[in-house]
């Protein structure tokens, strides 16, 4: 997983997965990507960066269940829009965390949950019922995709368990395009 250089093979697979040839006008364009990054103090990880600039900025055809959101949008079921999201602050987790199982950290859970939802990620989309997929854009897990729900958060990719998929945005999309269940590891 190279988050600094776009791999032409990954970009071709992303185009194929979304059935987009790059010329349909749904891509954000490089000027808008650079403006988004400057506004938020980040650099989007590859291949997502090139994907939104040259291929498409959102898609109704998924992934996830309700489609891929444009880079600057949140799901309809997001909740309190007054919460401030800071994409430049590092995403606080490096391993799966099920906060409902940790009564010893209950006093810190709300604060950490706020950080998990609002620091260092763009929201890729939702599978409904507050099950949101995030792409980490700041911190040690930059470039990784995480599923964040009301009960916990888990990274996506074979090395983290639960799935046979490659990590990162391209691995996440390719796993979906192969019509595999998100969590297919035994």
What percent of the chain has a predicted confidence (pLDDT) above 70?
Answer: 89
With cut-offs at 50, 70 and 90, classify the pLDDT of residue 185: confident
| pLDDT tens column, 138-166 | 999 999 999 999 888 999 999 998 899 99
Angle at 137 between CA 79 and CA 45, to 5 degrees: 135
pLDDT digits (tens, 9 = 90+) for 159-169: 998 899 999 99
Per-residue model confidence (pLDDT) at position 82? 60
Average pLDDT over residues 82-89: 85
Helix ranges (H only) for 21-167 are: 30-40, 48-50, 106-118
pLDDT, position 136: 98
Q: What is the pTM of this model?
A: 0.92
Per-domain boundaries in the chain: 8-177
Across the range 60-75, mean pLDDT stands at: 89
Q: Indicate the average pLDDT of the chain.
A: 88
Q: Nearest-5° angle of CA 33, CA 39, CA 41?
A: 95
Q: Taken in order 74, 77, 83, 85, is the CA torsion positive or negative?
A: negative
Other C-beta atoms within 10 Å of 28: how many? 22
């Amino acid at each position: 997983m190279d988050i600094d250089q776009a791999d032409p093979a990954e970009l071709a697979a992303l185009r194929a997965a979304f059935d987009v040839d790059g010329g349909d006008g749904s891509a954000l364009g490089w000027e808008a990507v650079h403006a988004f990054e400057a506004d938020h103090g980040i650099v989007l990880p590859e291949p997502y960066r090139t994907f939104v600039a040259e291929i498409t900025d959102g898609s109704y055809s998924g992934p996830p269940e309700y489609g891929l959101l444009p880079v600057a949008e949140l799901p309809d079921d997001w909740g309190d829009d007054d919460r401030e999201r800071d994409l430049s602050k590092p995403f606080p987790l490096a391993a799966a965390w099920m906060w409902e199982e940790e009564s010893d950290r209950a006093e810190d859970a709300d604060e950490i949950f706020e950080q998990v939802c609002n620091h260092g990620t763009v929201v890729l989309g939702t599978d409904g019922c507050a099950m949101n997929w995030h792409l980490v854009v700041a911190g040690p897990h930059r470039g990784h995709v995480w599923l964040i729900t009301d009960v916990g958060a888990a990274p996506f990719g074979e090395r983290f368990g639960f799935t046979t998929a490659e990590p990162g945005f391209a691995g996440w999309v390719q796993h979906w395009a192969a019509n595999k269940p998100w969590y297919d590891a035994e």
